[in-house]
A and B are shown apart, each in its own frame.
Chain A
Amino acid sequence: MKRFALLITVLLIIGVSCDKIDTSKEVFKTIGPVEVSAWNEDYARTVVQKIYVEEFTAHRCTFCPTGARELKAIMEADPTVIVTAIHCSSLADPLSKPPFNINYKTPMGDVLHKDFNIKDLPKATINRIKNENEWGFGRTEWRKIIENINRNNVRAGIEIQYSVNKSIQEIEAKVSVTIIKEIKNPVQLCIVLQENGIISGQIDNNVNILEYEHNDMIRVGFNGNYGTKLTQNGMVMEQIKYTSTFKLNYENGFSYSNIPAKIDNCNIVAYLLDMETKEVIQVEKIDVKN
């Protein structure tokens, strides 16, 4: 038995110590170079601080719909709050039969779920502010945390433009980041595609809802789990505008669930990350209307 345990341990160590990357598809993306220009001071004066809430949820999480309703109420009361719903954990694993047979988990969501040490659901990160040993806050804390965030320290503004080419099923996002106040740490810009109006199963307070409407569900990242740098070393300068273009093909759906996104139901969220503190500096969202 001891030998068997040793063998299993060795195989486990070997198994988790190799990251084999599938190179049958291109491992890289082509992106446009970052265009650097002077800021528009008038625009900078209009920028308000927005709050980014990542709701960690799952279709078999019984109290998650209560959390979603709480967030919806917060968003309705405060339009500066932007929410992304991330399906994760074993409660989001698909079952063999409907209504829970669809996998809404994503590779990016799995990474964030792990990196932010989310232990149970529903939890939400708020601007990725650290909460002692984890980043997730329970649903009773969300409103209070959001209210306590200082809105007067606006360090950056984000503008998003997009175009959709349905013939090749590609969406292009042109994102500009204007640095309003000095940011001392390196930053990265992350862009995600999320989808509204996905009708699928959900447990809601121990009741199976067959046609629950899932909103703001993350589908894929345009440029990696933590985005990409705007400059070679990630450092950005005050009163400078950085603009870059990102493309995404939505023809074949995304990893795990191969269900293509209904692009007209989607929105694009772009957020700027402080790579030292991990906190979200600014966030912006735009609905895709075609």
Chain B
Amino acid sequence: MGYKLQVTSDKHKILAHLHICSLIFLLSAFLLFCSSTSFAQIKAGTGIISGDFSFNAMLYIQDTIIGAQQVDSKVRGNAWLNLNYTNGGFSSGARYEFYLFPLIDFQNIGYRGQGITHFFADYKNDFIQVTGGYYYEQFGQGLTFRAYEDRNLGIDNSLLGGRVKVNPYKGIQLKGIWGIERHNFNFNYSQRNDNVRGLDAEIALADFISKLENKGITLTMGGSFVSRFEKAEDKMFDIYIDTSKYFYYYNYHAISDFTATDKPNVIRCQGVIPSENIPQNVASWATRLNFGVKRFRLEGEFTSKINDPNLSNDYIYKKGEALLLTASYSMKGLGISASFLRADNMDFRSQRNASPAFAALTMNYIPAINRQYSYQLLGNYSYASQPSGQIGLQGQINYLIPKKTKVGGKYGTEITLNYARFNDIRKSFVPLSDTIGTITGTEGYTSKFFGFGKNLLYQDIGFDISRRFNKYWKLMLMYNYINYNMSLQGKNGILKGNHVGFELTYKIKDIHALRVENQFLFIPRKIDLEDKDKGSWCFLLVEYSIAPKWFVTVSDQWHFGNEKQLHYPNAAVAFVNNTTRISLNFGKTRAGILCVGGVCRTVPASYGLGLSITTTF
């Protein structure tokens, strides 16, 4: 079990001790790193020891122009070491994490501490798999349950408990889980009043019906059930009654204790949802189907959740629902895919008071189905999935103009077209919510399943063309038009932008290459946005690589359309040796968001020198 360092009144002594510990840890880690680069996996008797190590540090420099704040400890770093032992069907492992002085964006989300944060023992054979300790798991596409980690986002939703997987017959898999969800570095599990349990079953029909297999049909069906227990407490909230409109209610409840508000005729009184009306056991279930015939695939999952009043939905009692459908067709040179997603009140966490502003304690995963870009400028306006309410679709066509044709050229030309759109869901609030001036303690609202709400959250229409001209030159051109509702980042207004760019690669010699990326994001200056989002951007990157060991990059993001004309220059050098990568960078990072698969966290502006070391063995 992990542990936290206790802070005593002798603060200076403790801090000095911590710094010494930090140095010892980093030195040990570095020595381990040096030794690990000389071999791949370590043999231990009949078993194998494997693992990975990562160290990311930064020296922070204050820069008031870009808003990079002075930080109390200027040198900060994240480090972890995973060690796993495998011997036949048995495996075990542990992770040490050192985030005591973490990179400032991790500190901002509360991911701070150190200790052995992960350990497990696992045994599996063809029939059964049993895991004890911390583990990750996903049911179906994750709409009901997904325990996972993403180190870049500072998410680790592993469960501490037990898991059993059984394969009673070929093509059938049953899973059972029980555990307590990790919450950053809060490892005092004896104080926790919540736990998660779940069941999942999946059957692959093609394994039973040989006719299906012979016809190239795959058909998999599954179902899952997840329940969260959390001890209930009374929920106090404010009720606002317009007595000119709802005097009958005021009169019926004989409300005598109230306070006036700044609105005429509106009184405020206190309401309480007694603990017996707060569901302690909240269940969610899902069914899923994956169907494939030859080149066509259809995947779908539907989930529903019973009443789950919590902080993210303002303590309403409406059930939650989500539907994810994906269809795709592929043949040589052509791929077509289309997806549909609707999520309503599906923020499902192991504690009802967990803040929706952070990903911690999330039990399920509602993905973003839009195309994920690696372009720098669009990355700052990535769509963040909205489990509480979103409806949208995405379509994409990939076409390869055949090679050795007039249009396709010698190597062929790849074209990608895509369109994505997400709106909020249409809601009709229940009459009681109007009476009491809040949706808390009510059913909240009703919503037509396929009804698009009035508010556009995100829209992206774009294409890119990629073509290799000869052995030396390769060019990619891209264009996107995006609408981005800034409420996704807690701001006002809708950003409308045109994004154009190119990526050119020139192979100088066999292992020497030069790559240039240039992108523009045109945003009107006269638009109802915060000043730092107004105006157009330019991004230029030049990378020289000597494959596979050396990469040298210089880049700049220039907010040329804004009055402040800010620059965010960066220079980086990276060295790769087998499974080890060392990189050093110096420069500025703009404030924004970082998203992976629709899950996002904010990134503060920063300026400084960074060092990153990663290795696996």
Contacts and interface: CB of A to CB of B under 8 A. Distances in A.
A168 B254 contact: yes
Interface stretch (B114-122, B148-156, B272-280): B272-280
Given A14-B225, A19-B280, A30-B269, A225 B317 contact: no
B277 A229 contact: no
Interface in A1-58: 10, 13-14, 16-21, 23, 26-33
A107 interface: yes
Nearest to B228: A17
A164 to B, nearest CB: 12
A32 B276 contact: no
B145 to A, nearest CB: 13
A247 interface: yes
* Chain B interface residue bracket vs A: 35 or more
Contacts of A10: 199
A229 B199 contact: no
A32 B281 CA distance: 29
29 contacts: A14-B225, A17-B227, A17-B229, A17-B283, A18-B279, A19-B282, A19-B306, A21-B278, A21-B279, A21-B307, A23-B442, A27-B441, A28-B237, A28-B273, A28-B440, A28-B441, A30-B239, A30-B255, A31-B272, A33-B258, A33-B259, A33-B269, A170-B254, A172-B254, A223-B234, A224-B274, A224-B276, A228-B274, A229-B236
A13 B442 CA distance: 28
By Cβ-Cβ distance, the 3 closest A-B pairs, closest first, are: A32-B257, A17-B227, A224-B274
A32 B277 contact: no
A135 interface: no
Interface residues of A, number: 36
Contacts of A18: 227, 279, 281-283, 306
A20 B270 contact: no
B487 interface: no
Interface string A100-129: 000000011001000000000000000000
A228 B281 contact: no
Contact of A32 (B199, B256, B274, B282): B256
A20 B307 contact: yes
A19 B281 contact: yes
Given A23-B443, A27-B317, A33 B279 contact: no
Given A23-B307, A28-B272, A33-B270, A16 B281 contact: yes
B271 interface: yes
Nearest to A244: B257
A177 B269 CA distance: 20
A165 interface: yes
Contact of A31 (B197, B257, B306): B257
B275 A226 contact: yes
B227 to A, nearest CB: 3
Contacts of A223: 234, 272, 274
B509 interface: no
A30 B275 contact: no
Contacts of B278: 21
A245 interface: yes
A12 to B, nearest CB: 12
Interface in B228-255: 229, 234, 236-237, 239, 253-255
Given A224-B272, A228-B272, A229-B236, A19 B441 contact: no
A27 B277 contact: yes
Contacts of A16: 281
Interface string A167-184: 010101000000000000
Contacts of B307: 19-21, 23
A31 B276 contact: no
Contacts of A247: 253-254
Contacts of A33: 257-259, 269-270
Interface string B568-585: 000000000000000000
A229 B272 CA distance: 10
A108 B237 CA distance: 22
Contacts of B279: 18-21
Contacts of B282: 18-19
Contacts of A188: 234
A284 to B, nearest CB: 20
Interface in B208-242: 225, 227, 229, 234, 236-237, 239
Interface string A57-97: 00000000000000000000000000000000000000000
Nearest to B225: A14
Contact of B276 (A20, A107, A170, A232): A107
A229 to B, nearest CB: 7
A191 to B, nearest CB: 12
A225 B236 contact: no
A29 B272 CA distance: 5
A226 B272 CA distance: 13
A13 B281 contact: no
A32 B254 contact: no
Contacts of A221: 274
A32 to B, nearest CB: 2
B234 A228 contact: yes
A165 B254 contact: yes
Given A18-B279, A229-B234, 20 more contacts: A14-B199, A17-B227, A19-B281, A19-B282, A21-B277, A27-B441, A28-B237, A28-B271, A29-B272, A31-B257, A32-B258, A33-B258, A107-B276, A111-B276, A221-B274, A224-B234, A225-B274, A225-B275, A245-B257, A247-B253
Contacts of A31: 257, 269-272
Contact of B441 (A17, A20, A26, A170): A26
Contacts of A165: 254
Contacts of B256: 32, 172, 245
A23 B197 contact: no
Contacts of A20: 279, 306-307
A31 B253 CA distance: 10
Interface string B437-453: 00011110000000000
Nearest to A245: B257
Contacts of B253: 30, 247
A245 B255 CA distance: 10
A14 B270 CA distance: 35
Interface in B440-471: 440-443
Contacts of B442: 23
B56 to A, nearest CB: 37
Contacts of A172: 254, 256
A31 B272 CA distance: 7
